[in-house]
Structure 1
Amino acid sequence: MVWEQKKDELEGRVTELEETVSDREFQVACLQDQLKSLETFKAETLSNIVKESKDEALLKLQNEIIDLERRLHSRTMDVEMARIDADTQMRWKEEQLQEGVSRQLKLMATEKELRETVSEKDGELRELRQLLDRARSDGGKKEREVTRLTTELGEANKTSSELEKKLEEAVVSHARHLQEMTAQKDTRIAELSKALEELQSEILGSETVAAPERNPLDFATVSTQTDPPPPPPSPSPQEEAKVGEGAAVLQVSNIPDTSLTVTNGLGGSETEEREEEGELTMESHGLIEEVRIYTHTYTLIH
């Protein structure tokens, strides 16, 4: 009985234990489910964390890469600019060096030329010193010569002053004489013109003459010169015909140291009969002068 009771107790306890175990197993299963859920959540969470970390790391890495590329580009540009500056400075230094070498060569050539010039000038200087010594040795003679020439120059200046004074007096006297002669010539020309008019009136008094209204005397030229005047040209056949047709010509010419000749030639009728020429002369002195007086050509109306 005791055994059975114990057995029943044990079975009861076993049953309780089994129930407890079953409960524990259910709890374990629940816990396992919860664990699985937690593991899944953990995995998802870890995955999300890793993914976010990877994205952030990738973005950060990309930013770093971009920054590095920017810095690399900047550094490359700095290096390129430094290289260009170095090349420029190198070329400038080479040009400066070439210019310096060229200047040095020119200076050397100039120095050589200057040395040659100095050598030549030294030779010329020696010659000039020799000439100076000779000139000093002849100094006494030259001084005496200068004194003599100075004395002669003073006498010549004195003589020149006297000659200038005499020349001025002669010029004044000659000018006064020319004025007097000019006045006499003007008076004589007026007298001759009046005589010519009277002579024409006497010759043409019995005939009707068609004459121009202007003054019958034209004073063509009055010239004063220092050289003898050229001889008058010979009259052309046409001019000779005009004289024969009734022209009157009065010519007054004056040549120095000769006589003043007044010649008049008058044409008569159509047969060209001329009267004898008359001459009036008077002495004239001074500069060469020439005065010509021409009259108009008159046509005879029969």
Structure 2
Amino acid sequence: MARNEEKAQSMLNRFITLKNEEKKKPKERRPYLASECRDLAEADKWRQQIMREIGRKVAEIQNEGLGEHRLRDLNDEINKLIREKSHWERRIIELGGPNYTKHSAKMTDLEGNIVDVPNPSGRGPGYRYFGAAKKLPGVRELFEKPPELRKRKSRYDIYKRIDASYYGYRDDEDGVLEKVEGPAEERMRAAKLAEWEALEEIKREARRAVKSGEVASVAPAGILFEEEEDVVEEERQAAREKENEKEREFVVHVPLPDEKEIERMVVEKKKMELLSKYTSEGLLEEQTEAKAMLNIQR
């Protein structure tokens, strides 16, 4: 049995292959301008052909071992095909076909996040990078976000945000204080109401006892009549006065000078200071002897 290569090279097989190629239509070439196409089906076919070419080149550009120059060339070719595809998509819309631009892919960074690079590296708007081309020197920096500089707030910016809530004037508007004070207010109101009812009951018992001539019953502990309250208040006042009297009591064991004596001593001291300032010691001694001889106290 002959091999496959020998079969292909045989005269009969070559004759059959040539006959089949003659029957085929000449290979169509994609129009250079999309505006030259008048048929919607033809425009869609050329768009699909461009999509297949883009897919093959995108798969090829994923290989990082191709070298920097080959990666840059492949990336340029892909961008050229993408621009051509956009022309055919606009032509399809003009011919009444669907709008494919709504579902166009967006540029992503190395982590897969969608980024907006309107005019990277000065290659014109819409230029995109694919696969290993994103890791080329000078391209990686385009996808790196610059560090955010935290601006220091000025005193004006700080005080600008201070309002009534900062000082607590709107604390009642959130409803928290109302939820806490509501039950407490009800409890206090119930306690005061119970106290008032007890007092009213005691008054009614006292009126019935006065009308019937009977002796009034003793009031419950903690509740006093008006007369009892007056007596208790008088006793408390008397106890306070006794305590004040005890505090005011002071036993003097040494005679104390009165106000006139203190005033005389102060004047005498000032007089001596003036005399010592403007007179000599000899003159002071003579003056003292003269006062002693004349029995003058001042």
TM range (shorter): under 0.3
Which structure's relative contact order is higher, taking Cα pairs within 8 Å and 6+ residues apart? 1
User: Rg bigger for which structure?
Assistant: 1
TM-score by length of 2: 0.16
Query: Greater strand percent: which structure?
Result: 1
